[in-house]
Amino acid sequence: MRIGLYPGTFDPVTLGHTDVFKRACALVDRLVIGVAVNADKNPLFTLSERVSMIEEEVEGLVAQTGVEIFARPFDGLLIDCARDVGASVIIRGLRAVSDFEYEFQMVGMNRAMDSSIETVFLMADAKSQAIASRLVKEIARLGGDISNFVPERIQAALEAKFPRM
């Protein structure tokens, strides 16, 4: 069984993330979406809220692809999480060249810790390349329309966090 780990903070889940979820299903038999605790990023949504949002968003994808997908919180080294879930591949989404520079360094460090786990990069779909969770939160906070950036359920959750004045 090919197990893939797609890690991130997912604060919140965007259409870019869901695009990677869908395309990753073509590569693996089981997709674990690793939801990073990452308190340094001061997430808007709690860990349990982020896990629940992911689980809701992947329900249809599980039925559509037949791939087992689940969200799993993790705190600590990514490579340890990959080992814990039995992943043979780490899946990372890339939007821009600047993402690649950071990810390139991470791959080197992860391979030094465990060379048996590969990393695969999936380029964001052209429609999703500019979408960043940080920017989506800012647009929502300022009362802008985020419907082109996040699934409907996530839009509702963001609007609940940032009620319009």
By annotation, the residues acting in catalysis are 17, 41, 95, 133
* Angle, helices 47-65/15-24, rounded to nearest 10 degrees: 40
- Produce one character per residue of 81-93: b if its CB has 16 or more CB atoms within 10 Å, e if not: bbeebebebbbbb
In sequence order, the β-bridge partners of residue 123 are 94
Q: Looking up tokens 């004045």, which residue turns up?
A: 165
Q: Give 91's DSSP letter.
A: E
Token digits of residue 140: 């929502």
Query: E strands of the chain, at which residues?
Result: 3-8, 30-36, 68-74, 89-94, 118-123
Question: CB–CB of 16/128 below 8 Å?
Answer: yes
Q: What is the separation of C-alpha 120 from the centre of its chain, rounded to a whole number of angstroms?
A: 14
